[in-house]
Structure 1
Amino acid sequence: MNLVTKIMINKKNIIISTIPLMMLLGLLGACKKFLPTDRDTFNTQARFTQTIYKPVMGRTTVMGDNFDSQSSSLPLTFKIVNIRNSDGLSAPELIKPFDVLVWKKAYFGTEKSIAEIEAKRVIEKHPLFEIREHSGEFIMWAASNSSIIKALPDSGYTFDVEVTNNGGRRYFNNMQLQPYRERKYEPNSLDPTTGAGTNAAIRPNVINNMKGEITSSNLSSNDVNVYFNRIGDGNSITFRFLDTLSRPIDPAKFKLTDWPNLVHGFNMEKTSTYVKYDVAYPIPLVEIPTAYTTQDGRQARVKFSYDRLGFGGVKEVAEMSFNFSIYEKGAWEIVFWFNRDNPKFSNE
């Protein structure tokens, strides 16, 4: 093979190897016209699963899990617009910012002082009713001036929500806010719509193995009335017990009660007529399960108990438990009045 032949073969090889590369580049250029662009989408089937909201005023309420994005591109941005009252007029009372307490650090229920609790939350300015920017959750904030809000049985407010992403924009119109008027504690005997008092008594949740002093019959929840009294300003809660004649029962008679850990309180003061704690409000502070709450964390739970020897020297453990919430800061007391018979603390 001479030199010319080698060169021709080499050129041939170059030509042969170059053609596939040129063809590939051409194909990629053609395909590029048909590839989908990287663009956000807004599914027209996206929707709010709840359109009427009825929070209770005077307590911070988060209303979530309420928007179905139908696989729209995230993040979505939510904004309340055109909020108006039943007359169609704007509602500045829901737009104007007010002082509200906001948690900046997690509450665990193990904090050792009110100062440690208060260091975890700060006062911020927020509208009383707002929507979280990227989740679509609504918040009704607790505020001392919530009485300016129209409450049921008033028809409340109508508002629209603008939802956007880079792929589109949509308005969800004529959503409704119909708050219940403030109830400072739970359980209570107020009608939730009118706020008028009813004759319904507040009772303990459970009474077990508690015998009557005179009748020796088993006491039930119907034999005890529970009263909430706000006796002034402050940060305290006091527990009292009254017999059938409204005379004080010494809390020490409930001798099995874990008084130091009854509530998430501090500086316990125990006397022959009451037990008092310094506390932070609301009670419970956050709706999470702690040693002081129900299993779901929605209410505080207190239990009072004692033991005695029944017939035949059998040990009997009696207990009374009560679940409750208090939403307004103050000096509160909870009173348990035995209305039919007094608990029997003595042995048989």
Structure 2
Amino acid sequence: MNTQVYKYIVAIGLLLAASSCYKAMLPKEKAHFSNNCNFDGDTYVAYFGRANVSYGKFNPDYSTQPLTFELQNIQRPDGAQAPEFKQEVNTWQWKTYYSGTEKSVDEINAKRIQVKRPLMDLQANSGNLVFWSTDTTVLKPGIYTFDILVKNEGGQKLFQKRKLDLRRPRPYEPYEWDAVTGLPLAADQGGIIHPSVSGIKDQLNNELKAENINVYFRKTGTAKNTISFKFFDKDSLPIRLPAFNITKWDSLAYRSNTIDARVYFGFNRKMTADSTVVTWDIPNPFPVLADVGIDEKASINFSYERISYGVRTQASLGLTFALFEAGSWDVIIKFNVNPRFSND
């Protein structure tokens, strides 16, 4: 071996050995716990009938990881202890990633697994809080309180009197009922659902506004999860779906905010023989990430074109929504002023 190369290798070896000895002599780095760590707000809002996930509310302020989080002292609105929050319930959790390219409800469900988790579930190392789906036979709406102990090897801090504002179910969104009082909302505050509209004209060629069209959600069964759309004119007569003559029924899709991808709207589309009802099979919830994503909703658009005095015009009606309660749902779209589909 070349003498200079050999001397270089030996020198490197000695340097590494000396470095290892030096590191071994150094004191172990102490864990740091910042007393300025905090949560963004002290109130968590949750609704019966769905999973409620609160992400990223904790700021560690450069505390050494891992941190551990522990729920303590859960109390009912009257101050009594609330052990019912510790009972385990069946939950659906993802075992592989949802891509949005799945071809059936069965393919989506195959990516989920049923796991028992505490009803109120604080993730041990992130501080994310999950209130899993349950109903009012287990708990009552109201404001519950709890403490969270955060700690690492360097210290700990107890955050007291966090609030869980547990509200009545909202089986779908948008919802026309107040989740606190249970009373219907005023018409101008969401008590009547309207779609988005563009270019729709009435029989006199006047522009129709969203306020001229109402949307109603009606649950019709529990045998499977489906969604059906029906249209009616001002006299409650059905409008046949071919009226929406440029709607591409088999390629309707919406954008998922959570996975940042276009997702096809439902599966196994069917139309009735008279072409007045269109139905899709859907997962629950719908969209499937509605209860874990941030403002995750599905959207659908019904479009048509007509010729008005020699000019080809297009019009559309759209709806953005989410379904949380399992079952078969009808979405009824009722025109209060008859639209014009025919040519002039």
TM-score by length of 1: 0.82
Structure-2 residue corresponding to 1:194 = 181
Residue 54 of structure 1 aligns to a residue in which SS? strand
Query: C-alpha displacement at 1:287, in angstroms?
Result: 4.6
Q: Give the counterpart of 1:46 among 17, 37, 43.
A: 37
Query: C-alpha displacement at 1:160, in angstroms?
Result: 0.9
Tell whether the 8 Å contact from 1:307 to 1:316 is kept in structure 2 after alignment. Answer: yes
- State how far apart, in whole Å, the 1-side matches of 2:265 and 2:316 are: 20
Cα displacement string for residues 84-135 of structure 1 (whole angstroms, at most 9, x for unaligned residues): 1122212122110111111121112211011100001111111222111101
Structure-1 residue corresponding to 2:297 = 299
Letter in 2 for 1:317: Q
Structure-2 residue corresponding to 1:248 = 238
Structure-2 residue corresponding to 1:319 = 316
Alignment root-mean-square deviation, CA = 2.2
Q: Which has the higher strand share?
A: 2
- State how far apart, in whole Å, the 1-side matches of 2:87 and 2:112 are: 21
Q: Does 1:235 pair with 2:238?
A: no
Structure-1 residue corresponding to 2:208 = 219
Tell whether the 8 Å contact from 2:70 to 2:149 is kept in structure 1 after alignment. Answer: yes
Structure 1 pair 328/38, CA: closer, same or farther in 2 (3 Å)?
A: same
* Equivalent runs, 1:262-301 vs 2, <5 Å: 262=252, 264-271=265-272, 272-287=275-290, 298-301=296-299
- State how far apart, in whole Å, the 1-side matches of 2:331 and 2:232 are: 11
TM-score by length of 2: 0.83
Query: C-alpha displacement at 1:220, in angstroms?
Result: 1.0
Tell whether the 8 Å contact from 2:290 to 2:322 is kept in structure 1 after alignment. Answer: no
Query: C-alpha displacement at 1:57, in angstroms?
Result: 2.6
- State how far apart, in whole Å, the 2-side matches of 1:306 and 1:99 are: 44
Structure-1 residue corresponding to 2:112 = 121
Cα displacement string for residues 163-214 of structure 1 (whole angstroms, at most 9, x for unaligned residues): 121122222111111122111011121012112223524333421111112x
Segment of structure 1 superposing worse, 256-265 or 270-279: 256-265
Max radius of gyration: which structure? 1
Q: Give the counterpart of 1:132 among 100, 123, 127.
A: 123
- State how far apart, in whole Å, the 1-side matches of 2:110 and 2:295 are: 22
Structure-2 residue corresponding to 1:23 = none
Structure-2 residue corresponding to 1:310 = 308
Structure-1 residue corresponding to 2:18 = none
Tell whether the 8 Å contact from 1:187 to 1:202 is kept in structure 2 after alignment. Answer: no
- State how far apart, in whole Å, the 2-side matches of 1:211 and 1:246 are: 18
* Equivalent runs, 1:1-348 vs 2, <5 Å: 37-143=28-134, 145=135, 148-151=138-141, 154=142, 156-200=143-187, 201-213=191-203, 215-233=204-222, 234-262=224-252, 264-271=265-272, 272-287=275-290, 298-311=296-309, 313-339=310-336, 341-348=337-344
Structure 2's unaligned 5+ residue stretches are 1-20, 253-263
Structure 1 pair 178/275, CA: closer, same or farther in 2 (3 Å)?
A: same
Segment of structure 1 superposing worse, 61-70 or 110-119: 61-70
Tell whether the 8 Å contact from 2:227 to 2:279 is kept in structure 1 after alignment. Answer: yes
The structure 1 segments of at least 4 consecutive aligned residues displaced by more than 6 Å after TM superposition are none
- State how far apart, in whole Å, the 2-side matches of 1:255 and 1:55 are: 41
Segment of structure 1 superposing worse, 36-45 or 65-74: 36-45
Count of matched residue positions in the alignment of Structure 1 and Structure 2: 305
- State how far apart, in whole Å, the 1-side matches of 2:114 and 2:120 are: 16
Tell whether the 8 Å contact from 2:71 to 2:149 is kept in structure 1 after alignment. Answer: yes
- State how far apart, in whole Å, the 1-side matches of 2:97 and 2:265 are: 16
Query: C-alpha displacement at 1:256, in angstroms?
Result: 1.1
Percent identity, aligned pairs only, is 36
Letter in 2 for 1:133: A
- State how far apart, in whole Å, the 2-side matches of 1:245 and 1:147 are: 41
Letter in 1 for 2:335: F
Query: C-alpha displacement at 1:243, in angstroms?
Result: 0.7
Query: C-alpha displacement at 1:336, in angstroms?
Result: 0.3
- State how far apart, in whole Å, the 1-side matches of 2:59 and 2:316 are: 46
Cα displacement string for residues 131-152 of structure 1 (whole angstroms, at most 9, x for unaligned residues): 1110111112224x3553332x
Segment of structure 1 superposing worse, 68-77 or 168-177: 168-177
